[in-house]
Amino acid sequence: MCQRNFTQLLQSRKYEGLVWFMQSLGFCSIYKLKTQQSAIGGRQQPNVEYHRDFQMDLLRAAFSLVCKRTDHIGRYHLASYAEVFRIMYEKENVNRREICERAATTYEDLYRRCHVDEPEQSPVELFRMKCDAKNVSDFKNDTIIQTKTFFTRFSRPCNTFQAFLDSYHSSASTNGNSNGATHSFGQALANDTAFMNGLSGFLKKALLAYSTLPHLVLRTRLLLQHFPLAAIYLSQKMREAYRCKLRESNEYFREENGEITEAANITNHMPEVESTTIYLENTVSTANGENATDECSNFDATVYEHLDETLLWDFESLGHNALLGVYIEFCLLLGIVLNTVVLSALLYQTRNHLSTATILFIFNILFSNALFVASFVCLFSTMLSDISYLKPDEELPATNDAALFVAETLQVHLYAPSEFLKNLAQETLFSLAQNGSLLGLTHLLVLVLVVINRSMAGKAIKLSRKCVVSVFTLVWLFLIVTHVLFSALQYSAITNLDQLISKVKTHTASMQCNRSQYSDFVEIGQRCDLISVFHDFGVYLLRGHTLFTLCFLVASVVVFSITFLCHWRVRSQHDFLTTNSTTGMREHSPHRRRETLFNTLLLSLGAFFISVSGQSFIEIAVFWVDDRADVASLAKWYQLTRIAAFVDPLLNPILVAIRTPAIRRRLRFYICLAFGLFCAVCCPWWNSKRKRRHRHHKRKPSSTICTTAGYTSSGGYSSRRASSATFTSTDSQITLRILCTKQFIRASILRRNGNSTCTHSVV
């Protein structure tokens, strides 16, 4: 009956009219309902148990009404079944109008709560038209109330039609005796929860097609982070799909003299992309085998319909740019690991010469870099695993935009339970790394401001170790707790959205008899209420990490501005720092350290601003646009801004090494040592030339110094020393140590004069 060529299978033509009548009643949809497996969240559920009694009695009543054999209705007690038939197929039916009015009221409320926006026609008016069966061209398929709706309600052993009739008659008699009001059959059906659940199919289709709630995932950082990986994966799949399309249209393979000549035809049809040529060299040899046939059968029909050379070129461009970006990120990640390891080694060697605050600041940078590396290791591990991005939902319209296709595919993939927690952990680590570095910088700026204010007030500058450790501990506890809350909000939003999508895709027939009766409309409304909060205030709830970064970045800029004003005030009050800038106090070690500190702080603040500005703009801009294609276009540029985010963790170890004198001297020593070893191994002529130059310069100064030393012993040196303003005993000792003991490296490391100090200020 449900096959296209059913007339050829009939042994007798006298049943052809009866088969057509059963088809018109929608019995094929009932057959499909009984045979198909209902999938809930990817888990197969057993079929619901049905019986045929209601279906057979409805067929008898319909046959009696259509063939005008009304005596059969009374003889076989089919009056209630005849009323059901009239509700479905009578043009003007009061009971159907009551059912549709109740359903339309519920639909209107849920459309508002679930943000359903259908551009062509009002969704509620469209539902009324389909439910009332007015101006319907295909009465069998376009109406809301169908035979399947009644079958799913009254064909289960736990919900029989006779039990419903008994309850209806009992309720009607009770209401009639109490207030004299009549209780119609349509009102009884409208008040029945299980029956109204059968009318939720139109709502579920509208939610999948026109609701803006499922598109909330398009605006999360999770999708922005994984967009390049999905583009790489789907670009390869689109190449396979295009190859299969050419093969099916007899344009890909041509047999000539019993051989397959495909190379010339490949270059004419495939876009000229380097990766395509490499890919085809590896796959053409197996394109005519069984594996190729299996691969071609796995593609969706919508992919073949819209896939052409232009669209394939867009996919290739997305995949090529994303793969290039991944390579750049991997190289920068190796640079961050190298800088972090070197700074860790220098910190370990100079730990006895550093204060507690300095050690904690450096450890803050190291820990932030470790979190940054861990987040990208977690992100890139997806490429090593056997991932399988799902295709876009069949209910969604097909698109010719490659970026939107990737975004919608990734939107479905992020719902996977095995991947979601890992993706959420990766985003949390990434946010902790960025904001941890920012809080460390803010903490340092506040400390510098406090030290300057106390020094200007003439107070003692002494930091308690317990106080410093407590402040750092509280800062990181605050950071971790807030980011866990931000991640929990995202987890709640996407989990509720996943449950809503699962509920929308689940047919009401999957409800077993042992389950309690509940309204699909009530549950969908509750899910929509939970998600609509994120839809209305998503920029604040789902962008907690971004807003946290922006707020503390503004605070850091304010603190740095105040600190810089205090620093400028100190410089303006001490005129001798400006009048004698060449040989005066500006050359002293404390002043150089102070200038170095402010320069490195300015560089750190600028590096962090470069790192987060582009990312923050895109993460917030996706909430400003309404079109999904615009969101996908912004997602294409997110990887470029993420590459800029490597500036801060890459430069921070270098800046902190320059900022800290002990680490700077140790680093200079290793650089000189490495340079000397490199010259000794690779450039021996340079070392010999350098030795001859030093030997030539040593002769004349050494004799002069020795003569000066002799003259000093005879008593005439005191007058010469008095006449010299810069030649002190300390300078002479350093000069003798450099020239007579040949300690060139150590002298270059020390760089101290008589006015330098061996101790460092707190800053």
Q: Work out the pLDDT band at 688, boundaries 50, 70, 90.
A: low
Q: Are 48 and 514 in contact (CB under 8 A)?
A: no
Distance CA 314, CA 235 (A): 9
Q: Work out the pLDDT band at 18, boundaries 50, 70, 90.
A: confident
Domain with CATH 1.20.1070.10 in the chain: 309-507+523-667
Q: Work out the pLDDT band at 47, boundaries 50, 70, 90.
A: low
Distance CA 375, CA 379 (A): 6
pTM: 0.69
* Percent of the chain predicted with pLDDT > 90: 8
pLDDT at 139: 52
- How does DSSP assign 20-59, residue by residue? HHHHHTTHHHHHHHHHSPPEETTEE-PPPP--SHHHHHHH
443-451 mean pLDDT: 79
What are the tokens at 332?
A: 């920068």
339-352 mean pLDDT: 91
Instruction: Mark out the alpha helices in 249-308 (DSSP H runs).
Output: 263-269, 274-283, 290-297, 301-306
On average, the pLDDT of the chain sits at: 73
Q: Work out the pLDDT band at 313, boundaries 50, 70, 90.
A: confident
User: Between 367 and 15, whose confidence is greater?
Assistant: 367
141-145 mean pLDDT: 71
pLDDT at 472: 85
For 376-381, the CB contacts below 8 A with 24+ separation are 376/329, 376/333, 376/430, 378/422, 378/425, 378/426, 378/429, 379/225, 379/226, 379/229, 379/426, 380/326, 380/330
What confidence tens digit (pLDDT) does each residue in 228-274 have? 888 888 888 888 877 777 776 654 445 444 444 444 444 444 444 44
Is residue 5 over pLDDT 80?
no
Is residue 324 over pLDDT 90?
yes
Closest CA to 524 of 218, 199, 283, 269: 199
Distance CA 183, CA 759 (A): 96
pLDDT at 190: 87
Is residue 725 over pLDDT 50?
no
Is residue 580 over pLDDT 60?
no
Pick the CATH number of 309-507+523-667 from 1.20.1070.10, 3.90.70.10, 1.10.287.810, 2.60.40.1180: 1.20.1070.10
204-212 mean pLDDT: 79
pLDDT at 325: 92
Q: Work out the pLDDT band at 539, boundaries 50, 70, 90.
A: low
Q: Work out the pLDDT band at 646, boundaries 50, 70, 90.
A: very high
User: Between 737 and 70, whose confidence is greater?
Assistant: 70
User: Between 24 and 728, whose confidence is greater?
Assistant: 24
Q: Work out the pLDDT band at 179, boundaries 50, 70, 90.
A: low
User: Between 753 and 52, whose confidence is greater?
Assistant: 52
What confidence tens digit (pLDDT) does each residue in 463-486 have? 677 888 888 888 889 888 988 888
Distance CA 472, CA 494 (A): 33
328-343 mean pLDDT: 93
User: Between 469 and 513, whose confidence is greater?
Assistant: 469
pLDDT at 672: 86
User: Between 750 and 323, whose confidence is greater?
Assistant: 323
Is residue 396 over pLDDT 60?
no
pLDDT at 367: 92
Is residue 699 over pLDDT 90?
no
Element (H, E) at 256: strand 255-256
